[in-house]
Structure 1
Amino acid sequence: MGAFVNLPKTAYTSHPWRIHELTSDFSVEDVWSFRTPGAGPGDFPTMLAAMRATGGLAKQPWSSRFLFAVRWKLGALLGWDKSSAGVGGRVASLRDRLPSDVRDAPRGPDDERMPLKAVYELDMECARELANKTVHTVMHLGWVQGANGDHELRMAVLVKPNGWFGRLYMAAIAPFRYLIVYPALTRRWEQAWRDRDHTAAEQEERVSR
């Protein structure tokens, strides 16, 4: 339970996701899956809601919080995360590339605890993006049928490094992603699916008060 499941890049590239129309100039960095036992084809919104209910970085394991704290501190000291280096500054948002039918669909909520901002959200997939001085990256979430018949969440990370510095940066953080960030994320999101009914009941109770 909570084991990190890395997938071949073809698990993402072979599927007819709408994101392919927007990211021909990006490369696929990572693809992995999250187990959601008993999930059906219409449960993607349920999974997204369960993930959002788990909270932001403050509720991540200490190891992930430490890594992100170091990263944001370095970014502040070196100017990596200035608004001029972000989406709408150094790079244009992928929303500028959206076909009309996707542009008219719900965008999905943004959360100040989440640095990745919504590009679009559809019935079976969604995308978020982040840019800074090192890279323009896209987190794509898709909902597919797994080998056991249940549907499962799959995530792909797409990147466009900012020159040689961006490529060096991506290579430097790779061990931390695989050893700390991804395993922690897997445990948290798979637990969110298992706890979805309890979490939804708690939210309804808070709203009714």
Structure 2
Amino acid sequence: MRLPNTAHTTRPWRIHEIAGDFRLDDVWALPTPGGPDGLDRLVRQLTGPRLPYADSPVARTLFAVRWKLGALLGWDRPEAGAGARVPTLLDRLPADLREGPRGPEVAGGPFRSLYQTRDEWASEIANRTVHAVRHIGWVPDGKGGYRGQMAVLVKPNGLPGRAYMAAIKPFRYLGVYPAVLRGIGRAWQSEPTRAARADAG
């Protein structure tokens, strides 16, 4: 379920002090009910080898087209990434986050972990079109439990980047995000019961 931007902006996330010049693009509630200590389990799931949209032919096709275009146009070359075309946000981390856990790296994916706390995990991606952050928070669900929350923050690369973000927006909302949310929910529910009991505290 898509949430208002205030679901992200009103919380005291550390990402605000690190990516204050990024635009908040989306905020989503994740179908991951659990207890107060569920973030680590969710991060492990999101960084594992199985992609959340793996069961969706539409989403798989959209991503395949994107990576093919990226290869043809040079969008994803190393010199276009974080630490090359743009400084990595790792350089902005305050000392406590820089010295703390970064979280696992994403298996086979373009995102790089930045930091992980008890209720927050952030990773970044940069290419020729955009520098972006995927922020995962662990929040009260209003019913006595907790769930994940995903925010996407972006800094498009000039006019071409803004045009690219506008062009892909319908595909993200119609094909990508629904598949990703369904995949996250299925993976969460399919884990062993003992993991769910552990998260419930």
* TM-score normalised to structure 1 length: 0.88
1:77 CA drift (Å): 1.1
* TM-score normalised to structure 2 length: 0.91
Structure 2: which amino acid aligns with 1:17? W
User: Which residue number in structure 1 is paired with residue 62 of structure 2?
Assistant: 67
User: Which residue number in structure 1 is paired with residue 88 of structure 2?
Assistant: 93
Instruction: Describe how 1:88-127 pairs up with structure 2 within 5 A.
Output: 88-127=83-122
RMSD between superposed Cα atoms in Å: 1.8
Instruction: Describe how 1:124-203 pairs up with structure 2 within 5 A.
Output: 124-197=119-192
Q: Distance in 2 between matches of 1:180 and 1:78?
A: 23
In the alignment, is the contact (CA less than 8 A) between 2:22 and 2:153 conserved in 1?
yes
Corresponding residue to 1:17 among 9, 13, 26? 13
Q: Distance in 2 between matches of 1:12 and 1:6?
A: 11
- 1:133-188 alpha-carbon deviations (Å, 9 max, x no partner): 10000000000001222201000000000011111110100001100110011111
Show structure 1 runs of 4+ deviating over 6 A.
none
Structure 2: which amino acid aligns with 1:145? P
1:112 CA drift (Å): 4.2
Task: Pick closer, same or farther for the CA change 1:58–1:151 going to 2, 3 Å.
Answer: closer
Q: Distance in 2 between matches of 1:90 and 1:74?
A: 19
Q: Which has the larger displacement, 93-102 or 189-198? A: 189-198
User: Which residue number in structure 1 is paired with residue 199 of structure 2?
Assistant: none
Instruction: Describe how 1:4-83 pairs up with structure 2 within 5 A.
Output: 5-37=1-33, 39-53=34-48, 55-56=50-51, 59-83=54-78
Q: Distance in 2 between matches of 1:58 and 1:35?
A: 14
Q: SS where residue 192 of structure 2 aligns?
A: helix
Task: Pick closer, same or farther for the CA change 1:191–1:7 going to 2, 3 Å.
Answer: same
Q: Distance in 1 between matches of 2:79 and 2:177?
A: 29
Q: Which has the larger displacement, 9-18 or 115-124? A: 115-124
Task: Pick closer, same or farther for the CA change 1:111–1:175 going to 2, 3 Å.
Answer: same
1:199 CA drift (Å): 9.9
Structure 1: which amino acid aligns with 2:27? V
In the alignment, is the contact (CA less than 8 A) between 1:56 and 1:114 conserved in 2?
no
In the alignment, is the contact (CA less than 8 A) between 2:43 and 2:121 conserved in 1?
no
Q: Name the count of aligned residue pairs.
A: 195
Structure 1: which amino acid aligns with 2:162? R
Query: Which structure 1 residue ranges, 5 or more long, are not aligned?
Result: 201-209
Q: SS where residue 24 of structure 1 aligns?
A: coil
